[in-house]
Chains A and B, each alone.
Chain A
Amino acid sequence: MKDEMEWEKKFTGCAEQMKIDPVKKERALYGISQAACAGSLQYRPTVSDMIKVQFSCIPGSIWAFQLLFLALLPFAEYWLQNRLELEGWQIFSGLSVWAAAGSLVFVSELARHFSCKMAELEQTCYLNLSQLWLLRACCISGLDILVIAAFGGWRAESYGFGWFSFTVYVLTPFFASNVILIFLFTKGRRGGRAVWFWAALLAGLGFWIQAECSWIYEAAWLPVWLLLLTAAIALWTIELRAFCRKMEGEGLCLN
């Protein structure tokens, strides 16, 4: 304590003896103010800031549709179970189709940038169209996955499955459908009828297997489901990445 006081006394004494050059002081203050200005212009939004902005910019109608779709998930289950009198495992395919329908929301959200001729302008902003779209895709799909997982946690036991396997059974077709949708939206547009035919055939086959083959829900097949889910997520990521690169390299016609 005593040392500290002595040190402070010495420091104050030295500071008083120091002569301040007003020109240098002015120059230093100017430099600081310039740096402060530059600092304010160099503001970099954090990922959470960007997500917040995206959440606020997605129009109410998109949110309303998305939330309605998610809120109706339990009703879809009830309808499949009681009205169509499906077996427990057959309900998965119905729920998966319901979950996949959510993808349509996000594809329509992308189309809005183009139909309103905003894509060109947005592409020249700091947070450009590809980043914007990627963020929105992650936000909306993230929300879907969260709700599906929560729904799984709530309902899995009533089907005699664990939460994890239930979520895998619903998420796999969800991602697979997303992959097919993005493929059709990008490559498929120019691919002609053959591409659409094969995509529809593949989707239909997947749906049929899921609805008709109860043995695929046996525990022994879970690793295969996991493999399929990983492959679907990987493909989905590759597609998003390729799509964004295409936008950066003006492969997609802006406006």
Chain B
Amino acid sequence: MSELSADRITRQFGTKIAVDKVSFTLTDGVYGLLGSNGAGKTTLMRMLCGLLTPDHGEIRYEGELIWRMGAQYRRILGYLPQDFGYYPNFTAERYLKYLAQLKALPPRMIPEKMDEIWELTGLRDARKQKLGTFSGGMLRRLGIGQALLNDPKVLILDEPTSGLDPKERIRFRNIISAMGKKRIVLLSTHIVSDVEFIADQIFLMKDGGLVKAGSLSEVTENVRGKVWECLVDEAWAKRLNERYPVSNLRNEDGQVRLRIISKERPVPDAFSCEPNLEDAYLFYIGGNIRKEQLSNHIQKGGLQ
């Protein structure tokens, strides 16, 4: 079983502390990283990939410092950057072969490995096509495929499912989940349901720090008894939305059903319900997922 650990790692850009004294230990499994934009997820992932060095603290793989391991660490690493780049004049086949060579795959293994990737990504028919002609979803699939080329022990995926259609998203979600049995998979995403379904452990990040880490039940445990649902008119909905974090809303017969995070009962006829990861996210990270949406709908004179 592999082990990747971070010990009080900190990274600062100018006056902004992007990652602040973050510590954790990852073993084989899928880890989901959730946080708002600018929470430090990408910086943390880049540090785990060795692209950025922490200002303080250290990252170790199997007890050894990753910067000291150098190429040996990169050999067992698979990475999908958030801003996935490609050479537009390369065909998908040439691109994968190029990366396979950079990842030092034995030449005799390359065709076999590429064959697996075509199967996995469903890009076999497009392998002779130039990447400049690929759609966003196809590029994302290729991106996930390239990260798996060297059968990595540490797989870091920054927004792997963004740009995929729902069917592909579910397929890749299952693939990533299966992969976590034999390796460390760390993925960041804005799609809370992806993390909810596949992550064994969830990390919630806010302002560069980890505010909560644990399994789905552990993360939602503290929110139990703090999630309420109520059916109110639009004027009340607006008032409640300004006062409490609202994780969901739905229009029902001219009224609005709200899902509210609050320590106390927000309105007398609100009833307590089972918390999910979105509720926990709002509870720990703050903000209001639907605030803008609700305001827009109310301004337009009703919810769609």
A-side residues, CB < 8 A to B, are: 40-41, 43-45, 53, 57, 59, 112, 116-128, 132, 249-250, 254-255
Q: How far is the CA of A59 from the CA of B83 in the complex (A)?
A: 23
Docked-complex contact A120 and B74, CB < 8 angstroms: no
By a CB distance below 8 angstroms, the chain B residues around A57 are 98, 101
What would 5 A/B residue contacts be, using CB atoms closer than 8 Å? A40-B106, A123-B51, A124-B74, A125-B103, A128-B102
Docked-complex contact A121 and B74, CB < 8 angstroms: no
Docked-complex contact A124 and B77, CB < 8 angstroms: yes
Docked-complex contact B83 and A255, CB < 8 angstroms: yes
Nearest B-chain residue to A132, judged by Cβ: B102
Closest 10 CB pairs of A and B: A117-B85, A125-B102, A43-B106, A126-B104, A118-B85, A124-B79, A53-B101, A127-B102, A120-B81, A126-B75
The answer, yes or no, to whether B175 is at the interface (CB within 8 Å) is no
Interface residue count on the B side (C-beta < 8 Å): 31
User: Nearest-CB distance from B83 to chain A (Å)?
Assistant: 6
The answer, yes or no, to whether B24 is at the interface (CB within 8 Å) is no
Q: How far is the CA of A250 from the CA of B51 in the complex (A)?
A: 7
By a CB distance below 8 angstroms, the chain A residues around B49 are 124
Docked-complex contact B104 and A43, CB < 8 angstroms: yes
Docked-complex contact A124 and B83, CB < 8 angstroms: no
Apart from the given pairs A126-B102, A127-B102, A250-B51, 7 other A-B contacts in the complex at a CB distance below 8 Å: A117-B86, A120-B85, A121-B146, A125-B103, A127-B71, A127-B104, A250-B53
Partner of B104, one of A44, A117, A123: A44
The answer, yes or no, to whether B286 is at the interface (CB within 8 Å) is no
Q: How far is the CA of A124 from the CA of B105 in the complex (A)?
A: 14
User: Nearest-CB distance from B218 to chain A (Å)?
Assistant: 31
Docked-complex contact A120 and B104, CB < 8 angstroms: no
Nearest A-chain residue to B98, judged by Cβ: A57
Q: How far is the CA of A132 from the CA of B71 in the complex (A)?
A: 13
Q: How far is the CA of A126 from the CA of B146 in the complex (A)?
A: 13
Q: How far is the CA of A128 from the CA of B99 in the complex (A)?
A: 10
Docked-complex contact B71 and A124, CB < 8 angstroms: no
The answer, yes or no, to whether B197 is at the interface (CB within 8 Å) is no
Partner of A126, one of B46, B71, B79, B87: B71
Assuming the contacts A116-B86, A116-B87, A116-B88, asked whether A125 and B74 have C-beta atoms less than 8 A apart, the reply is yes
Assuming the contacts A124-B51, A128-B74, A250-B51, asked whether A119 and B85 have C-beta atoms less than 8 A apart, the reply is yes
By a CB distance below 8 angstroms, the chain B residues around A123 are 51
User: Nearest-CB distance from A136 to chain B (Å)?
Assistant: 12
User: Nearest-CB distance from B286 to chain A (Å)?
Assistant: 30
Q: How far is the CA of A249 from the CA of B55 in the complex (A)?
A: 11
Docked-complex contact B85 and A126, CB < 8 angstroms: no
By a CB distance below 8 angstroms, the chain A residues around B99 are 121, 125
Partner of A43, one of B46, B98, B105: B105
Q: How far is the CA of A48 from the CA of B109 in the complex (A)?
A: 19
Q: How far is the CA of A125 from the CA of B105 in the complex (A)?
A: 11
The answer, yes or no, to whether B267 is at the interface (CB within 8 Å) is no
Interface residues of B in 39-58 (CB under 8 A from A): 46, 49-53
Nearest A-chain residue to B101, judged by Cβ: A53
Partner of B83, one of A41, A43, A120, A132: A120
Docked-complex contact A126 and B74, CB < 8 angstroms: yes
Return the CB mask of B212-231 against A: 1 if under 8 Å, else 0. Answer: 00000000000000000000
User: Nearest-CB distance from A45 to chain B (Å)?
Assistant: 5
By a CB distance below 8 angstroms, the chain A residues around B75 are 126
Q: How far is the CA of A126 from the CA of B75 in the complex (A)?
A: 5
Nearest A-chain residue to B89, judged by Cβ: A59
The answer, yes or no, to whether B84 is at the interface (CB within 8 Å) is yes
By a CB distance below 8 angstroms, the chain A residues around B106 are 40-41, 43
Nearest B-chain residue to A40, judged by Cβ: B106
Docked-complex contact A121 and B98, CB < 8 angstroms: no
- With most chain A CB atoms within 10 A of its CB, the pick from B46, B71, B102 is B102
Partner of B51, one of A40, A45, A117, A120: A120
Partner of B87, one of A45, A118, A254: A118
Return the CB mask of B88-127 against A: 1 if under 8 Å, else 0. Answer: 1100000000110111111001000000000000000000
By a CB distance below 8 angstroms, the chain A residues around B146 are 121
Partner of A40, one of B84, B98, B109: B109
Partner of A121, one of B50, B52, B79, B101: B79
